[in-house]
Chain A
Amino acid sequence: MVKIQALQDEFIYQETLSSGLRVAIHPKPDFHNTLVTLQVGFGGTCLFYDVDDTRMEIPAGVAHFLEHLMFHNNAFDLPERFAQSGAEINAYTSKSLTAYQFKTINHIQSLLSDFLGNFIECGITDEVIEKERRIIEYELLMSDDSVHYDMYQRLMRMMYSDYSVHSDVGGTVKDVRKIDRSILEHVFETFYHPKNCTLIITGNVNAEEIITLLQNHPYNQKIWPRFPHINPIISHKSRRIHNQTRYAEDVTEPLITYAVRIPDEMMKSVDKEFLHIAFGSIVANVFGMGSSTFDYLEKIKLMNVSFYTKLSVEKTYGHLRIFIQTNKVKRYQKVMKEILLNVANKPLDEEFFHINKKNIIGNYITVFDSLSRVHDLLCNTMSEGVNLDEYVDHILNLKFEDMDAFRRIFVPENIYSIIYKKIKKN
């Protein structure tokens, strides 16, 4: 077991079990709760892929569908089992992975054992599949009523030609109707292999006891088949439409999103963690609360409470989105275009870059106050293959000039915009 010092009195224990499952345990003995997450490297973008030499194609929404079913695997009612102990169980599917989580204040050993036992074999019935299909259809309909969701989906379609990138994690109702038991069993066999999973535990646990339990668990003892080489196939054909204006009934005030797509060559050639850190620093430097842009937008009354930026760096694609809801459409467009193009043309704010480092140190210490925040951070760093202590060092060691290569992507061919306006009634 490798012991990592994450802070002067915070330690993380890491181990790779004989089955290939990577485990990180962060004991927090003063806390009552324990959080457990099993991350499976199978998410919404995995629709076309090679398994060794065989080309596979599955409908959108399979990862999400299977996530629903795993709560009722092998006729075992996992939520009921957890409820008996006052524990909460939950799951979500993102573009890159499926995560199963639970939170408890007691019976950690028996709960963890039952939890992991659920992922040894896939035993789902057609009855459960049909029941969950109906519930998923309701779930998908919920997003249909959101104009913000519609805007995001259209923007994704403008930026990416590949269905696996721009489709919703849950797929469409049409996609979901194509999913059957054989597809679900196939993806379980392919992706739910210990070598494709990580287990993260944060809270009131003893690391050695947990590792002993895991080593002796049937999940680890099982003779798993060889984990195949999986290669996702993504088409990176570029799209020509960069700006779009749409009209919708539900718009109370125009909605504007600008996006900067990270070029595919950069996605393929640069380490994802470094990409995240470098772009995160650019976004903080240009759009953060202490940036001169923020003050400028405030001064010329183009900043309001709806403004936000969101950086997404997934395994196969990445982009920055900048959103606002405002009536001052033309002025905002002119100013935002200028700001974005200036990122490539003008130097960033070096003084702010250095001041921000103290901020990063403070935020890192603060994270350890909250079980869920430190657990999420550990989940993210584990999925990127980085140790938590290295993570903060990597941010602090970033040099000002390191951002130069990345800010050069702020050029017209990578910039997109979409505007939603209210339909004018006759």
Chain B
Amino acid sequence: MDQPIKKNIKGIDVYYIKSDKFKTITWSFVFVHPSGTNHINEYYFLSDILVDNMKKYPTFVKKYRYLSSLYGLDAFSSATTIGANIVNQFVVTYPNEIYIKGEDSLSEKAFIFLNEIITDPKMREGKLTRKVYQDSIDEAKQSFNILKSDKDMFAYYQFAKEYYSDKPNLQYNFPDNDRLKEVTLDSLTKVYFDLLDQNRVSLFVTGKFDESKFDEIIQTHLSKQIQSQPIPVENRIYPTKKIKAPKMVRETSNVKQARIYIGYETDIEYYSDMHPAMSVFNDIFGGFDQSILFMDIRERSNLAYFVYSHYIPDEQTIVVPVLTDFDHEEEVIEKVKSGLKQIQNGEFSDALFQQAKNNALTSLYSIYDSQPIYLMQHIKTYHLQNRRYNLEERIKLYESITKEDVIQAANSLVLDTIYVMTKGGEANG
């Protein structure tokens, strides 16, 4: 893939990431809100509201049929985080017209449609409609009901609540169910207008295309309503203590196996020099089928079918989920703790270290194979570090990791929360 080309068109930073490898073209508008979780629900609701409530296409039938005529153009949105800022992304992706006989205006139509999503929602008397507001609230409640009917998802939700209970304003839940009452039609409308002129806005384009043609499409069709402001992107800082008493929570539910979630925090920051070592540590700990936890808990002791560890780098967290029977809850928890101790003491083989490193490298190379992931890495790096995502450099960083780096990463971990959902009645919450 070529290096990204950055330019400014009509006050918006535009990034072209050209590639001959993929058969689709993607346009992605990124709106960065001021840092913090204020209005987290409004930002979350806006994503769906704008995509699903276009004035020009008032029903699903009209919109979907128009998109079908554009060869199944996919229009979607998301609310996510970059550092401490929430971002809304509005995206259209469609097959490159060079693969369709007699079609040469698909990109122009796609960009017009993307602008319409953002700037032309259904409004009444200067506000988003009451129906749209009520549907968003109902949908959030419905989604929470769906989550509650899934034991694994609900147990993780309960774990995360506990894990973040002493980390105020650091949990970014989309939506935040405890704060739904704060959302009003007025707050939703205000956030929508802020989106248009109080956010930092950038546009990312990927695929195989003619740059001058796309410059012209943007010049001609970028809506004047979209204005970019210099909103700074801040890092999310997690308070970490080397010594602390872990939170222990045990809840009961109508389950046939216990769900255990063990959460560790680390002071290794996202994209810091030690980030790659933590990533390799995670693979050694429980990241794949040769890892210490998988081999001990599943393969040797046969105490579980499912045991893994997950590294969430932007939340400086490692989570270990395990499903086991009720008689072995304590044994499994002890095995997780001793697995970590083992790595902290450097008791893991060179072969396992090399396998974990190979895995991490494979994952990195795989970024080249996915246009959406490659694009997301660029979006994050440009916003957090104001520079292009350099995959070659990251590969070199991972190649240079030593066993000592992994031991150091392991020693940065502090046990924060042990959550167990076990047999009994209904879960609280």
Contact = CB atoms under 8 A, between A and B. Distances in A.
Interface of A: 7-8, 30-33, 79-80, 83-89, 104-105, 131, 134-136, 138-139, 141-142, 144-148, 249-253, 255, 288-292, 294-295, 298, 304-306, 325, 352, 355-356, 358-363, 365-366, 368-371
Contact of A366 (B61, B95, B324): B95
Interface of B: 20-24, 59-61, 63-65, 67-74, 93-96, 99-100, 138-139, 142-143, 145-146, 148-151, 254-257, 288-290, 298-299, 302, 304-306, 323-325, 351, 354-355, 358-359, 361-362, 365-366, 368-371, 426
Contacts of A104: 362
A3 to B, nearest CB: 19
Interface centre among A131, A290, A370 (most CB of B within 10 A): A290
18 contacts: A32-B366, A84-B354, A87-B362, A88-B362, A105-B362, A134-B302, A138-B304, A138-B325, A145-B151, A145-B255, A146-B151, A250-B151, A290-B60, A292-B61, A306-B146, A355-B65, A362-B70, A369-B371
Contacts of A368: 23
Contact of A325 (B145, B290, B371): B145
A304 B139 contact: yes
Given A30-B21, A79-B289, A362-B95, A255 B366 contact: no
Nearest to A351: B65
Contact of B149 (A84, A250, A369): A250
Given A290-B65, A295-B60, 11 more contacts: A86-B359, A105-B366, A131-B302, A148-B149, A290-B64, A294-B60, A325-B145, A358-B68, A359-B68, A365-B23, A365-B96
A115 to B, nearest CB: 15
Contact of A135 (B71, B143, B302): B302
B71 A358 contact: yes
A362 B94 contact: yes
A102 to B, nearest CB: 12
Interface centre among B61, B359, B361 (most CB of A within 10 A): B61
B95 A255 contact: no
B257 A365 contact: no
A355 B61 CA distance: 11
A83 B139 contact: no
A382 B88 CA distance: 41
A358 B355 contact: no
A139 to B, nearest CB: 4
A251 B20 contact: no
B254 A250 contact: yes
A79 B351 CA distance: 13
Contacts of A136: 305
A295 B59 CA distance: 7
B145 A249 contact: no
B365 A32 contact: yes
A79 B61 contact: no
B99 A306 contact: no
B65 A138 contact: no
Contacts of A135: 298, 302, 305
Contacts of B361: 86, 105
A172 to B, nearest CB: 13
Contact of A83 (B59, B61, B289): B289
A32 B368 contact: yes
Nearest to B324: A138
B287 to A, nearest CB: 11
A358 B298 CA distance: 48
A358 B69 contact: yes
A362 B368 contact: no
Nearest to A304: B142
A360 to B, nearest CB: 8
Contacts of B358: 83-86
Given A83-B355, A135-B305, A305-B142, A361 B371 contact: no
A213 B21 CA distance: 27
B248 to A, nearest CB: 22
Contact of B256 (A134, A141, A251): A141
A46 B27 CA distance: 47
A2 B114 CA distance: 43
B149 A255 contact: yes
Contact of B20 (A30, A255, A292, A355): A30
A146 B22 CA distance: 39
Contacts of A79: 289-290
B99 A8 contact: yes
Contact of A252 (B148, B255, B298): B148
Given A369-B24, A369-B371, A83 B290 contact: yes
A348 B371 CA distance: 37
A363 B71 CA distance: 7
Interface centre among B20, B23, B142, B290 (most CB of A within 10 A): B23
A144 B61 CA distance: 39
A7 B99 contact: yes
Nearest to B426: A249
A408 to B, nearest CB: 25
B69 A355 contact: yes
Contacts of B139: 304-305
Nearest to B255: A145
Q: Which 4 pairs of residues, A with B, have the shortest CB-CB distance?
A: A86-B358, A362-B71, A290-B64, A362-B72
Nearest to A147: B149
Nearest to A368: B23
Contacts of B323: 138, 141-142
Contacts of B351: 84
A306 B99 CA distance: 35
